[in-house]
Structure 1
Amino acid sequence: MPPTPARTRIGAGFILLLSALTAIGPLTFDTYLAAFPEIAVDLSASSALVQLTLTASLAGLALGQLLIGSLSDTYGRRRPLLGSLAVYVLASTAIVFAGSVGMLTALRFVQGFSAAAGMVLSMAIIQDKYTGIQVSKVLARLMLVVGVAPILAPTIGAQLLRFGSWRSIFGFLAATGVVLLVLAAVFLRESLPVERRRLGGTSAALGTYRDLLTNRPFLGLALLSAFYMSALFTYVASSTFVFQAGFGLDVQQFGFVFAGGAAAITIASQVCGALVGRFQPTQILTFAVWSGLGLSTALFVVALAGGGLVPVGVLLILTLATAGLVMPSAPAIALATNGHRAGSAAALLGALQFGVGALIAPITGLLGGDPAVAMAGVMFTMIALSAILLAAVSRTWRRQPVAPLAPPTSVPAITAEIPVSAL
């Protein structure tokens, strides 16, 4: 089969649509955070039960990526995407009328499951349509959404609460789903030709996941990115306690600091896109991980020494910036040789990221003590694990150099987007 020709032009409208599909995840998880106390009162539920609705949506997202990504390798990208968006609209609408926390929890699982489609299939569509350095350039543009959406989502939710109840937030999400469904139906064409689709049904899908999980270079880089993402989950989950409870910032001041972290990730991701073509993703990843290890070590030491707001804040933002280099590079390398199973590979990567991140993020709350020390310690540990995995997988690059920027002989290279936050 002849190779798929590379696209010579990256359409802004197409990238904007993929970005919007990617943003549905952060919007789904972060928009309603400010409404937790109101939900607890309205549904006569404890705070723990309300928090369980977030856990349910995370579980739905992880499972949704695994199933929908795999299905897309067999049935194409368009049908699973449109079907999932329709389910998302129905689930979001049903939540508006939820009368109990149990119903809300079940519907949040469905909502998270269906939201996975926009996130995982946008990755697979990039694989289908782009090759070479265009892959990393498209990913860098998507990272603009990845960095900004988790920051904007709680703000949107807070503004909606000013004019309505918590139910208005899910009305907004339902309306967003309708807009995305219409845009995808009108403008998004099938990107996976029939001749490139996987045959064999469920047994083939399970076999694909088994092959990916036993592929040491892929699994090593997937876990590397998952641990690095866990450092970001840790920051998102604990930052309010660190800066408001620990350093005494008010809500607006904390917002500026939090926005600084998002800006650092976003700017670094754009720098990564500019560096592609001058440096290999392996070089960028190596520099980013070892820099992150040094910065997170300094952050942990300063926090242990009782450092003030400025040194802790500066080191934290610099550490977060390295994630903007890691996030485009690690998936590009990990998935470069899996173009024939792009949906499944991207799904497994995303499921690992959310699964590991959701497990790690609450650890800071369990550790107790100084919140800055707990946050810095967990972030350092996660980045150190990423560095160990980098040292292991880099041996395979020396034995068999990875060149995801080169045009492939049969299928184009793939990269993946990683959602910054689900908390």
Structure 2
Amino acid sequence: MTSVKTSQPTVTATGRPRVGLVLLLGAITILGPLSIDLYLPAFPTIQHELGASEASVQLTLTGFLVGLALGQPISGPLSDAIGRRRPMLIGLTIYLAMSVLLAVSPSIEILIGARFLQGVAGAFGVAVAMGMVRDLAAGAAAARLLSTMMLVTGLGPILAPMIGGQLLRLVDWRGVFWFLAVVALGLLATAYFAIPETLPADRRTTGGVRTALRSYRVLITDRIYVGYALTNGLMFGAVFGYIAAASFVYQGIYHLTPQAYGVAAGINALGMVAMTQVNGRLVSYFAPRRLLIVGVVIATLSGAVLLGIATTRPSSVWWIAVPLFVMVASIGLVMPNGMAMALNDYPKSAGTGAALMGASQFVLGGAVTALMGLGGSSTAIPMAGFIAGLTLLSLTAQLVLARPRSGRAAAARQRVLLRYEPATHESEVAAEARA
């Protein structure tokens, strides 16, 4: 059996990317949600067995998020310069090794360090997969593909808490990381034989990795790109505020079992996945940015309601669970559209653009989880306050920074892009502009 090493994107006879390839890329990115959600029900057990504080256990999540944030600025430009396939395989290999180390970790310090390195490795899959999608489509078409990919990615938050809760019936928390090692091994083998190279040599950035890194300057001076990056990043931070605190709030305050918490978290993620599929259909009728704004407005209103309810310290968990469900579901309208619109002008730097966007998300997510540990878990108010504040900031970034350019500003920006993003041929630029 031979591996797939073609340099041409895999498409159907109609010119559309194979859905199977996009779903497989989603399976690669599922390592992120799995690595986060799978072991959340084990937080109290890890704290007890390793004699660690609540804040230090949450640092294992922070370390993973920081690794994801730092790994993406490396993997993105690398994939723009040498292609997508090799960085993805390297990342999966390192992730496998770190999963084994985590399974045998003797202390909380090693656990935090190994989680950081596991995050760096996982970043290669996240950034490269997003770059591959942009290799194959642009604009609304990319939003549809990203919605399809999130169908698989969203299975991570749905299944991980449930699987984690059930695994803890059979094994200790170390068994959770052995499970991740097995998943990584399966994905590595599948990727080696089934994922082609989607970025041909003639579409890669010239001048090597150094030139690819210089494209960061173009990205961070693009008001609209920064607006979309902050919109997604702040929403991502709101979700991780929920992720970091929910296991303590649900189990510590409302006394849910690990299994019941897993079901509650899975229902929230199911709402997000359902909304991504609705979004995949709606982008055929409505502009991606309009759908994104609707999603952020819903999240902001849900955050405000959640904060108001949390201050009353309700006796039933349902008062907390319902606005959390609405907030998490709204992500399905925000993330695919935000990523697609942010990368629309950067066909040759899609890996770098996706990496910078992903890094900003995980920096914010890591900061929120670290701060959540300081807020305590005696009430749901810290969690609700972070969610309300971050969703409001996300809406502000979208309305202020990501607003469309005037005709003159658009022409000036196009001249900058042509200097750093020379088109493969003129028809490609025209097609992407229409998308």
**Into which bin does the TM-score normalised by the smaller protein fall?**
0.7 to 0.9
Q: Is the deviation greater in 253-262 or in 182-191?
A: 253-262
Equivalent residue number for residue 25 of structure 1: 32
Match of 1:351 in 2: 359
Residues 67-76 or 311-320, more deviating = 311-320
* Whole-angstrom distance in 1 between the partners of 2:377 and 2:45: 29
Rounded Cα–Cα distance in structure 2 between residues aligned with 1:5 and 1:171: 33
Query: How far 1:252 moved relative to its partner?
Result: 4.7
CA distance in 2 between partners of 1:201 and 1:11 (Å): 29
1:409 aligns with 2:429: yes
1:232 matched residue in structure 2: 239
* Contact persistence 1:364–1:371 (CA under 8 A): no
2:313 and 2:379 in contact (8 A); partners too: no
Q: Which residue, 54, 69, 93 being the options, matches 1:62?
A: 69
Residue 379 of structure 1 corresponds to: 387
Aligned twin of 2:398? 390
Among candidates 72, 95, 99, match of residue 79 of structure 2? 72
Decide whether aligned partners of structure 1 residues 107 and 292 sit closer, same or farther in structure 2, where only a CA change above 3 A counts: closer
- Give the secondary-structure state (helix, strand or coil) at the position aligned to 1:339: coil
Q: 2:95, 2:122 within 8 Å by CA — same for their partners in 1?
A: yes
1:362-420 CA-to-partner distances (Å, cap 9, x unmatched) read 44453458633332222111111111112213433565789xxxx9517859x9xxxxx
Quickly say closer, same or farther: Cα 1:298–1:385, change in 2 above 3 A. same
Report if aligned partners of 1:340, 1:411 keep a CA contact under 8 Å in 2. Answer: no
Equivalent position of 1:91 in the other structure = 98
Partner of 1:395, secondary structure, is coil
Question: 1:312-342: per-residue Cα shift (whole Å, max 9, x none)?
Answer: 4333322222221111111111111111101
Q: Secondary structure at the match of 2:276?
A: helix
**Against the structure 1 CA distance between its residues 372 and 271, is the aligned structure 2 distance closer, same or farther, given a 3 Å change threshold?**
same
**CA deviation profile, 1:60-87 (whole Å, cap 9, x unmatched):** 2111111011100000001111122222
Whether the 8 Å contact between 1:241 and 1:371 is mirrored in structure 2 is no
RMSD of aligned residue pairs (Cα, Å): 3.0
Query: Which residue does the alignment assign to 2:300?
Result: 293
Q: TM-score, normalised by structure 1?
A: 0.85
- Equivalent position amino acid for 1:197 in 2: R
- Match of 1:223? 230
Q: CA deviation at 1:293?
A: 2.4
CA positional deviation for 1:24? 1.0
Question: CA offsets, 1:277-333, max 9 Å, x none?
Answer: 100101111222223323332333333345554444333322222221111111111
Percent identity for Structure 1 against Structure 2: 38
SS in 2 for 1:396: coil
Determine the C-alpha separation between the residues in 1 that align with 2:259 and 2:169.
Answer: 16
Q: 1:134 aligns with which of 141, 152, 160?
A: 141
Higher mean alpha-carbon deviation, 360-369 vs 235-244, is at: 360-369
- Find 1:205's aligned residue among 193, 212, 219: 212
Q: For residues 91-170 of structure 1, what are the structure 2 equivalents within 5 Å?
A: 91-170=98-177
TM-score for the superposition, normalised by structure 2: 0.83
Match of 1:420 in 2: none
Deviation at 1:114, TM superposition (A): 1.1
Alpha-carbon distance in structure 2 between the residues aligned to 1:412 and 1:301: 44
8 Å contact kept, 1:339–1:411: no
Between stretches 329-338 and 83-92, larger displacement belongs to 83-92
Q: How many Å separate the matches in 2 of 1:52 and 1:242?
A: 17
- What are the residue-to-residue correspondences of 1:311-350 with 2, within 5 Å? 311-350=319-358
8 A contact 2:225–2:342 mirrored in 1: yes
One-letter amino acid of the counterpart of residue 209, structure 1: Y
Deviations 1:41-62 (A, max 9, x none): 6666666555443333222211
Give the match for residue 263 of structure 1.
270
2:184 matches 1:177: yes
Unaligned runs of 5+ in 1: 416-423
Secondary structure of 2:285's aligned partner: coil
Q: Is the 8 A contact 1:234 1:362 kept in 2?
A: no
Runs of 5+ in structure 2 lacking a partner? 1-8, 414-426
Matched to 2:89, the amino acid is: L
